[in-house]
Chain A
Amino acid sequence: MAINVKVLDRPVEQVSYVRATLKGMAQTFKHLVNREKRHQVTIQYPEQKWDLSPRWRGTHRMLTTETGKAKCVACGLCPTVCPANCIKLVPGEDEQGNRYPLVFEIDEFRCIFCGYCQEVCPEEAIHVGRHYENAEYSRDGMVYDLERLMAQTHPVSDLWDPADPKGE
């Protein structure tokens, strides 16, 4: 034995492996026959879905007015605040002088889902949503244009409210 190797003189019950082996096998067998436990732990994903928190920040959604137009007034606050630089906005103006987005695209791949765009929006137009199933076959598919953002139907996020930090 090398010098300075500390050998603890433990009682036999703690170092015996025959007893430990039998105990372990009983333990694994108990788990093997316990059907309820595995149903508690695992969510059978495509059939069974997870309950998202009301503050979940997922796929974006653009809300619309009663007439079916986007609420966005192309103020340019969201591309300014966006830390990931994932929002592309080209503003336009109609005959009455109302501003509207000519191009409004969000690259969901670049997005870090911080929710600042929803927080900063004066018109409550752009929102992050309680939705996470956005797989695509190509990178281009992850760039959502205005039409697609308006077509989303999932519930929007409640974001964290500093006045009510626990969401009560």
Chain B
Amino acid sequence: MTTPLAALALLQSYDPQVEHPGNGTFFVATVVKMLVVFAVTLGLVSLLTLAERKISAWIQDRHGPNRVGPGGLLQPVADGLKNFMKERVSPGFVYAPIFWLAPALAFVPALVSFAVIPFAAPLPTPWGLIPMVVADVPIGFLYILSISSLGVYGITLAGWASNNKYSLLGGLRSSAQMVSYEIAMGMSTIPILLLAGNVSLGAIIRQQAVTGWNVFALSVAFFVFMVAAFAETNRLPFDLPEAESELIAGYHTEYSGMAFAMFFISEYSAMITQSALMVTLFFGGWDIPFTSWDNEAPYSVLKSLATLASFGAKTLFFLFTFIWIRWTLPRFRYDQLMSLGWKVMLPVALAYIVIVATAILALDAAGVARGPLYGGILFAMNLVLLVILFVWLDRGRLISPASGRARAAEVARLRARAFEVRQGRRAPVAELAGEAAD
């Protein structure tokens, strides 16, 4: 086999259970899967905009959109039509090439990253077993990490090219926020890679069928990952890039019509991808809980549909959680956001890598086989760690340096000095210099 064909074979059939279906079938099946996944994602995005408005309305004891179609079901269509027909406004002061490129830069990574997420058990067809993932690449997880890092470009460049101080601040904030939380997110997933011994999402799903879902075996990692996922998608409580009270609309202040809608779509498709990723990494992907029926070799159409339903239900639950949290929690202050990312999430994730690596080493040395017992022991350890983590987090004022507690004696000393300065008995600056000397 020549080299390009060997590379093609590597791309096609990573899953050892799946037999090589041949290049023609691979090509046709991939194109069909691409179209289906793209259409479903965009359809889901439009329904999510409706769900967001409906759920927010219900939480606030309102009705939400209910005029277009039955129960407001056609509202997304009306919104889409409106956006398409709007004038494309290009303010005179923007840097046009990047200004118009930025929405696409935000839009593409959000959609592309779904390509490596397996959404059902392999589907048997007359032409062979088709893996239910657009691209069954062996480096799936690394691909997602790298693509989601690209998402920050769209937002930052939109803020910069808008040539508007609010947009620029929004773009700056988003780059700082996404870079900070990307680290915590990457670190929180290392325990999974340690446990699965692989970066292929298919392999991670198979590992979870053996040791139980990672949300139990690696609960702390799930907590860190979920917080980071909220920050990465710029959703409340982390929507600093578009903080209305301070930045008007942040990075998309100058956008209108379809360009604005593209930022909107990219936010929602990023939500879908992050939800699907949480499901894949921590909730067994398309695995149906309490059965091993769905993971075994004789695949059928029924099996594919059942696992697809399982995957869809889990993903929808997380999408609901995204919306639910948005309409519950207020926004963080910027210093709180940074302090949570760097002082809480990153150290927790780093310490957790060490703990999990030690635990895995110890369990393997003790000769515990990978299975329910293995997962159970890790879960017991995680329960203890979660209690410690939450008690520590719950102490109050932990993430806010601005309202951190000073020692009582220190406060008294400072107050006494302030009093003397006001009385004119002390020159503030000279005294400070003198104090620093002694």
User: Do A28 and B59 touch across chains, with their CB atoms under 8 A apart?
Assistant: yes
> How many A residues are at the interface, by size bracket?
20 to 34
Q: Nearest-CB distance from A115 to chain B (Å)?
A: 34
Does B8 make an interface contact (CB < 8 A)? no
Q: Which residues of A contact B417 (CB under 8 A)?
A: 3
User: Do B329 and A21 touch across chains, with their CB atoms under 8 A apart?
Assistant: yes
Does A163 make an interface contact (CB < 8 A)? no
Q: Nearest-CB distance from B56 to chain A (Å)?
A: 10
Residues B318-346 near A (CB distance < 8 A)? 324-325, 327-329
User: Do B59 and A32 touch across chains, with their CB atoms under 8 A apart?
Assistant: yes
0/1 interface trace, chain A 8-48, chain B, CB 8 Å (1 if under): 01101011111101001101110111100110011010000
Q: Nearest-CB distance from A29 to chain B (Å)?
A: 7
Q: Which residues of A contact B414 (CB under 8 A)?
A: 1, 3
Q: Which residues of B contact A29 (CB under 8 A)?
A: 324
What is the CA–CA distance of A32 and B57 in the complex, to the nearest angstrom?
8
Does A4 make an interface contact (CB < 8 A)? yes
Does B366 make an interface contact (CB < 8 A)? no
Partner of A1, one of B61, B395, B404: B404
User: Do B62 and A38 touch across chains, with their CB atoms under 8 A apart?
Assistant: yes
What is the CA–CA distance of A108 and B415 in the complex, to the nearest angstrom?
64
| Complex: chain A residue closest to B64, CB-CB | A38
> How many B residues are at the interface, by size bracket?
20 to 34
User: Do A4 and B415 touch across chains, with their CB atoms under 8 A apart?
Assistant: yes
What is the CA–CA distance of A30 and B297 in the complex, to the nearest angstrom?
44
Partner of A15, one of B325, B396, B406, B418: B396
User: Do B393 and A44 touch across chains, with their CB atoms under 8 A apart?
Assistant: no
Does A7 make an interface contact (CB < 8 A)? yes
Partner of B62, one of A14, A17, A42: A42
User: Do B63 and A42 touch across chains, with their CB atoms under 8 A apart?
Assistant: yes
Given contacts A3-B414, A4-B418, A24-B329, whether A31 and B58 have CB atoms under 8 Å apart is yes
User: Do A38 and B403 touch across chains, with their CB atoms under 8 A apart?
Assistant: no
What is the CA–CA distance of A21 and B390 in the complex, to the nearest angstrom?
12
User: Do B59 and A17 touch across chains, with their CB atoms under 8 A apart?
Assistant: no
What is the CA–CA distance of A41 and B418 in the complex, to the nearest angstrom?
53
User: Do B405 and A28 touch across chains, with their CB atoms under 8 A apart?
Assistant: no
User: Do A41 and B390 touch across chains, with their CB atoms under 8 A apart?
Assistant: no
User: Do A28 and B324 touch across chains, with their CB atoms under 8 A apart?
Assistant: yes
Given contacts A3-B415, A9-B405, A12-B395, whether A32 and B329 have CB atoms under 8 Å apart is no
User: Do B418 and A25 touch across chains, with their CB atoms under 8 A apart?
Assistant: no
| Complex: chain B residue closest to A31, CB-CB | B59
What is the CA–CA distance of A121 and B349 in the complex, to the nearest angstrom?
80
Does B31 make an interface contact (CB < 8 A)? no
Residues B50-75 near A (CB distance < 8 A)? 55, 57-63
Q: Which residues of B contact A21 (CB under 8 A)?
A: 328-329
Partner of A44, one of B63, B394, B397, B418: B63
| Complex: chain A residue closest to B408, CB-CB | A9
What is the CA–CA distance of A29 and B58 in the complex, to the nearest angstrom?
9
User: Do B394 and A18 touch across chains, with their CB atoms under 8 A apart?
Assistant: yes
Does B411 make an interface contact (CB < 8 A)? yes
User: Do B394 and A12 touch across chains, with their CB atoms under 8 A apart?
Assistant: yes
Q: Which residues of B contact A16 (CB under 8 A)?
A: 394-396
User: Do A18 and B329 touch across chains, with their CB atoms under 8 A apart?
Assistant: no
Q: Which residues of B contact A10 (CB under 8 A)?
A: 396
Partner of A38, one of B61, B395, B405, B411: B61
| Complex: chain B residue closest to A42, CB-CB | B63
Q: Which residues of B contact A44 (CB under 8 A)?
A: 63
User: Do B415 and A38 touch across chains, with their CB atoms under 8 A apart?
Assistant: no
Partner of A18, one of B61, B327, B390: B390
What is the CA–CA distance of A33 and B62 in the complex, to the nearest angstrom?
12
| Complex: chain A residue closest to B321, CB-CB | A25
Residues B409-438 near A (CB distance < 8 A)? 411, 414-415, 417-418
What is the CA–CA distance of A9 and B396 in the complex, to the nearest angstrom?
11
Q: Which residues of A contact B394 (CB under 8 A)?
A: 12, 16-19
User: Do A28 and B390 touch across chains, with their CB atoms under 8 A apart?
Assistant: no
| Complex: chain B residue closest to A25, CB-CB | B328
| Complex: chain A residue closest to B392, CB-CB | A18
Q: Which residues of A contact B393 (CB under 8 A)?
A: 17-18
| Complex: chain B residue closest to A1, CB-CB | B406
Q: Which residues of A contact B418 (CB under 8 A)?
A: 3-4
User: Do B328 and A41 touch across chains, with their CB atoms under 8 A apart?
Assistant: no
Q: Which residues of B contact A24 (CB under 8 A)?
A: 328-329
| Complex: chain A residue closest to B326, CB-CB | A28
* 17 A-B interface contacts by CB (under 8 A): A1-B406, A1-B414, A3-B414, A3-B415, A3-B417, A3-B418, A7-B405, A10-B396, A16-B394, A16-B395, A24-B329, A25-B324, A28-B324, A31-B58, A33-B58, A38-B58, A41-B62
Interface residues of A (CB under 8 A from B): 1, 3-4, 7, 9-10, 12, 14-19, 21, 24-25, 27-29, 31-34, 37-38, 41-42, 44
Interface residues of B (CB under 8 A from A): 55, 57-63, 324-325, 327-329, 390, 393-397, 403-406, 411, 414-415, 417-418
Sample of 20 further A-B pairs with CB below 8 A, known A12-B394, A31-B59, A38-B58: A1-B406, A1-B414, A3-B414, A7-B405, A7-B411, A16-B395, A17-B394, A18-B390, A21-B329, A24-B329, A25-B324, A28-B327, A28-B328, A31-B58, A31-B61, A32-B55, A37-B61, A38-B61, A41-B61, A41-B62
Among all A-B residue pairs, the 10 with the closest Cβ atoms? A15-B396, A18-B394, A16-B394, A3-B418, A28-B328, A38-B61, A1-B406, A28-B59, A3-B414, A24-B328
